[in-house]
Structure 1
């Protein structure tokens, strides 16, 4: 298998899935910051936006964890 073929399959690999989980979790930090700002300013609309965004991140993480479980042990990029 060529290196180019391996690189194309990275997103569906175990390592790529871990990277996606990490970047998605990192995005949660900005949502937490947004929620704190909304609470201090008593901005209901901004708080609602933070809650909806947090739900989207939680759903995205759940999908990535499910995908991680689907990746078999035959992953050539991870170990």
Structure 2
């Protein structure tokens, strides 16, 4: 059971769940950026930009891992 839990992150299901949770994080960052622009808070805007860059990088890594698993999905190419 512990071995299955350990390998869950490298499974297709685990990667899809990671993609979904990262996408929800992007929604939060978008809201943070919108509030920062409305308040003219430059520090929060920079924080939102850095967080957005981290999310984009994370999504790219997860996408690469999905391709490595040999997913035959038409949408992934």
User: Same fold judged by TM-score > 0.5?
Assistant: yes
Alpha carbons of structure 1 residues 5 and 72: separation in structure 2 relative to 1, 3 Å:
farther
Shift of 1:4: 5.2
Q: 1:58 aligns with which of 56, 59, 67?
A: 56
Shift of 1:8: 3.0
Distance 1:27 1:56 in 2: 10
- Greater Rg by CA: 1
What 5-or-longer segments of structure 2 have no aligned partner? 72-77
1:42 paired residue number:
40
What is the 5 A alignment of 1:1-79?
5-72=3-70
What 5-or-longer segments of structure 1 have no aligned partner? 74-79
The TM-score with structure 1 as length reference comes to 0.81
1:76 paired residue number:
none
Q: How many residues align?
A: 71
Instruction: Give the number of the structure with larger relative contact order, counting CA–CA contacts within 8 Å between residues 6 or more apart.
Output: 1
